[in-house]
Amino acid sequence: MKAILEHIDSPKDLRTLNPEELTHLAFELRQFIIDIVSAKEGHLGASLGVVELTIALHYTFNTPTDKLIWDVGHQAYGHKILTGRKAIFDTNRQFGGISGFPKMEESEYDAFGTGHSSTSISALLGMALAARLQGNFTRQHIAVIGDASIASGMAFEGLNHAGVTNANILVVLNDNAMGIDPSVGALKKYLTNVKTGTAKEENIFECLNFHYSGPVDGHNLPLLISELERLKKIEGPKLLHVITIKGKGLKKAEENQVVYHAPGKFNKQTGELEKSSTNAQPPKFQDVFGRTLVELALKNDKIVGLTPAMPTGSSMKFMMDALPERAYDVGIAEQHAVTIAAGMAADGLIPFCNIYSTFLQRAYDQVIHDVALQNLPVIFCLDRAGLVGEDGPTHHGVYDIAYLRCIPHLMVCSPLNEIELRNIMYTAQLGLHGPIAIRYPRGRGSIVNWQQPMKKVALGKGQQLRKGNHIAILSTGPIGNNVIELLNEIDSGSKIAHYNFPFIKPLDKELLKDIFQNFDHIITLEDGAAIGGFGSAVLDFANNIEMNKIIKIFGIPDVFIPHGPTLELYKEAGIDKMSVKKYVQQFL
């Protein structure tokens, strides 16, 4: 069979193919994804699982006129390759390259930008109702949503509304029984019963007034096409339940679906992962969190752990393995995770609620209304705080300082390193009179020998790390290690002092007053939004005590920072070591 993919520059080309050519295209597309992702990294498993579905959807529907939305969007690599981005797909997630998620500004085929889960049904319904209101009764609207994402509250809100609108939408439920980790919950059990034909209940989707079809084999291309053609002709809300295998077509990815969700570099022939360095290196912050939580929970039976569908990504998996009766994966349900933690705290437990900074944005009201207002001692561990890198603006955890420090009762902290993280976790579980948010970044810390005995620390206190008499640099979080490095690189004599402020709230005001007494020129540095962040807090305090100082804030400016390597993004945001160094050197 001659090569086909190289001649496909848009779905129009795809629609000229015969069934045999379509099947061959699926083979080529799958191989193309494996080839590129094996070298350039990215989300592999989900995209491999929807190769046939992607082809069937673009073959059957008149995209981009018909609207197609990919929920989360991590499975949209085939969609991007078939819609004119084949030649540049090797720039996927690279700085200056295409996004790893659908993005409206990137292509007319990307009907809606995604990245956070469970938004597709609401957006789709919005478009379907808009079409009708604008006199368009022929356009089709399709959302592809996974079995973990459809279990999230927002997806149910969309289904619940769609069910009474008679809107012309098709929800394709891509059921592979996996989130990043195995999907969880009663809906998972129900879908399993449906797939095994043992469901005794009424069909849940039909109860919501959806025309339900399936379950069908999501890798049977001719069957998918015939089913989609049939559904096109049916009015109103429809749901097609397809069964797929995450990682389909790469044996290693099918066998280890968690790792191959985003495997890093691997051998495109064998699937073998690239060997990581054997040299002793600092741990990932997530592992410091996960292993420390087990250490603490073994000695304190009030401790419980909660993760909204990120057991592996957050390393909550360590506690789930060691103490399964006290660690919960609640599914993609950040709002639920926060308020179940509140309920547990209200009843005397000590909940460690681990949520990626960006995903906590979805549970903001719960933090205020259910936790802070009632002053409940929930310990939020915000992983992926700061610029996260290749996942880009949908995933950067850069707003948490600003959106949390304005909430009464809630402490907000950002430890300098692994030791400080462990000591704050240890201190928090000794008993708090209110909630705390502990933020830390994606990736590795700076201390190889991090498993030191933990000790109680004074919550809210800052420390001087270097004496000086001319400029004071105040940093919060691990970005402070860049300051330590740059001060070792320049000959500043005794001119520059450096202070670590692990707590953004409460601010160490005594230390700040002392700094204001001794310095007229102050620099603040944070891996977070400048507006409302740590620097703003210092400036607010200076103004409140009528201190007239030069305060230069190094924080993320009022723009969305793109995707790319984190070091590149630090430069883009102006918070990299060189930017601070250049600023300081002009005063030496």
Ligand X SMILES: CC(=O)[C@@H](O)[C@H](O)COP(=O)(O)O
Ligand Y SMILES: Cc1ncc(C[n+]2csc(CCOP(=O)(O)OP(=O)(O)O)c2C)c(N)n1
Q: Dump the DSSP string for 526-542.
A: EEEESTTSHHHHHHHHH
Residue closer to ligand X by CB (options 391, 576) is: 391
Closest to ligand Y by CB, 187 vs 511, is 187
Residue 283: asked if its preceding bond is cis (omega within 30°), the reply is: no
Q: Is 176 or 354 the residue whose CB approaches Mg ion more closely?
A: 176
71 binds Mg ion (CB under 5 A): no
**Is 74 annotated to bind ligand?**
yes
Is the separation of the CB atoms in 452 and 428 below 8 Å?
no
Alpha helices in 490-558 (DSSP H): 509-518, 534-544
Residue 51 has which token pair?
Answer: 């190769």
Partner from Mg ion, ligand Y, ligand X, none binding residue 317, C-beta < 5-8 Å depending on class: none
* Residues that bind ligand Y in the complex, under the rule CB under 6 A: 46, 72, 74-75, 116-117, 146-149, 174, 176, 178-180, 183, 246, 309, 332, 359, 362
Distances from the Cα of 484 to the Cαs of 298, 447, 481, 498, 577, in angstroms?
35, 14, 5, 8, 10
Report whether 488 belongs to an annotated binding site: no
Binding partner of residue 391 among ligand Y, Mg ion, ligand X, none, CB under 5 to 8 Å per kind?
ligand X
- Give the separation between CA 391 and CA 381, rounded to whole angstroms: 20
Number of residues that bind Mg ion (CB under 5 A): 5
Per rule CB under 5 A, is residue 329 in the interface with Mg ion?
Answer: no
Q: Which residues contact 479 (CB under 8 A, 6 or more apart)?
A: 386, 525, 526, 527, 575
- 126 annotated to bind ligand: no
* Nearest-approach distance from CB 495 to ligand X, in angstroms: 39
- Output the smallest distance, CB 192 to ligand Y, in A: 13
Q: Fill in the per-residue mask, 167 to 186: x = in contact with Mg ion (CB under 5 A), - = not in contact.
A: ---------x-x--------
Q: Are 438 and 381 in contact (CB under 8 A)?
A: yes
Choose among ligand Y, ligand X, Mg ion, none what residue 332 binds, the Cβ cut-off being 5 to 8 Å by kind. ligand Y
Write the burial class of residue 396 (CB in 10 Å: 0-12 exposed, 13-18 middle, 19+ buried).
Answer: buried
Q: Phi, psi (5° rounding) for residue 55?
A: -65, -45
Report the run of H or E that residue 379 belongs to, with start and end: strand 379-382
- Give 92 or 174: the residue with its C-beta nearer to ligand Y: 174
In whole angstroms, what is the distance from residue 168 CA to residue 491 CA?
Answer: 68
Residue 92 CB coordination number (10 Å): 24
The answer to whether 28 is annotated as binding is no
When asked if residue 147 is in the footprint of Mg ion (CB under 5 A), the reply is yes
Cite the active site residues: 246, 334, 362
- Whether the CB-CB separation of 473 and 498 falls below 8 Å is answered with yes
Q: Which does 271 bind (CB under 5 to 8 A by kind): Mg ion, ligand Y, ligand X, none?
A: none
Kindly state the DSSP code that residue 178 receives in the 8-state scheme.
B
Q: Could you tell me the smallest distance in angstroms from the CB atom of residue 538 to ligand Y?
A: 32
DSSP string, 52-108: HHHHHHHHHS-TTTSEEEESSSTT-HHHHIIIIISTTGGGTTSTTS--SS--TTT-T
What does 359 bind: ligand Y, Mg ion, ligand X, none (CB cut-off 5 to 8 Å by kind)? ligand Y
Contact region for Mg ion (CB under 5 A) — 89-97, 148-156, 192-200, 222-230? 148-156
Question: What distance in Å separates the CA atoms of residue 357 and residue 355, rounded to the nearest whole number?
Answer: 6
7 marked as part of a ligand binding site: no
- Outline where 387-506 has alpha helix (H): 400-405, 418-428, 480-489
- 261 carries a ligand binding annotation: no
The whole-angstrom distance between residue 454's C-alpha and the CA centroid of its chain comes to 29
Shortest Å, Cβ 188 to Mg ion: 9
Q: Which does 89 bind (CB under 5 to 8 A by kind): ligand Y, Mg ion, ligand X, none?
A: none
The residue among 38 and 60 lying less far from ligand X, judged by its C-beta, is: 38
Nearer to ligand X, 177 or 388 (CB): 388
Smallest gap from Cβ 403 to Mg ion, in A, equals: 29
Closest CB to ligand Y among residues 382, 424: 382
CB of residue 485 to ligand X, shortest distance in Å: 24
Q: Residues 163, 155: contact at Cβ < 8 Å?
A: no
- Whichever of 146 and 480 has its CB closer to Mg ion, that residue is 146
CB neighbour list of residue 304: distance below 8 Å, 6 or more residues apart: 297, 326, 327, 328, 344, 349, 350, 351, 352
**Residue with CB nearest Mg ion?**
146
CB of 115 to ligand X, least distance (A): 6
| Binds 393: which of Mg ion, ligand X, ligand Y, none (CB < 5-8 Å by kind) | none
Q: Choosing among ligand X, Mg ion, ligand Y, none, which partner's interface includes residue 362 (Cβ < 5 to 8 Å by kind)?
A: ligand Y
Over the window 569 to 588, marking each residue x when it contacts Mg ion by CB under 5 A and - when it does not, the resulting string is --------------------
Q: Which of 11, 45, 146, 158 binds Mg ion (CB under 5 A)?
A: 146
219 labelled binding-site residue: no
Rounded Cα distance, 157 and 155, in Å: 5
Interface residues toward ligand X, by CB under 6 A: 43, 72, 74, 180, 262, 313, 384, 388, 391, 395, 442
Residue 146, annotated as binding a ligand? no
CB of 222 to ligand X, least distance (A): 30
Cβ distance to ligand Y smaller for residue 71 or 420 = 71
262 binds, among Mg ion, ligand Y, ligand X, none (CB under 5 to 8 A by kind): ligand X
Report in angstroms how near the CB of residue 541 gets to ligand X at its nearest. Answer: 33
- The tokens for 108 are 């007319």
The answer to whether 148 is annotated as binding is: yes
The CA–CA distances, whole Å, from 360 to 332, 366, 382, 395 equal 11, 10, 8, 11
3-state secondary structure of 215: strand
Structure-block tokens of residue 145: 């949503």
Nearest to 83 by CA among 137, 133, 9, 148: 9
Write down the H helix ranges in 241-310: 251-255, 285-299
* Residues annotated within a binding site for Mg(2+): 147, 176
Question: Where does this chain bind Mg ion (CB under 5 A)?
Answer: 146-148, 176, 178
Please report, in range form, the residues annotated as the binding site for thiamine diphosphate: 74, 115-117, 148-149, 176, 334
**Residues tagged in the binding site annotation:** 74, 115-117, 147-149, 176, 334
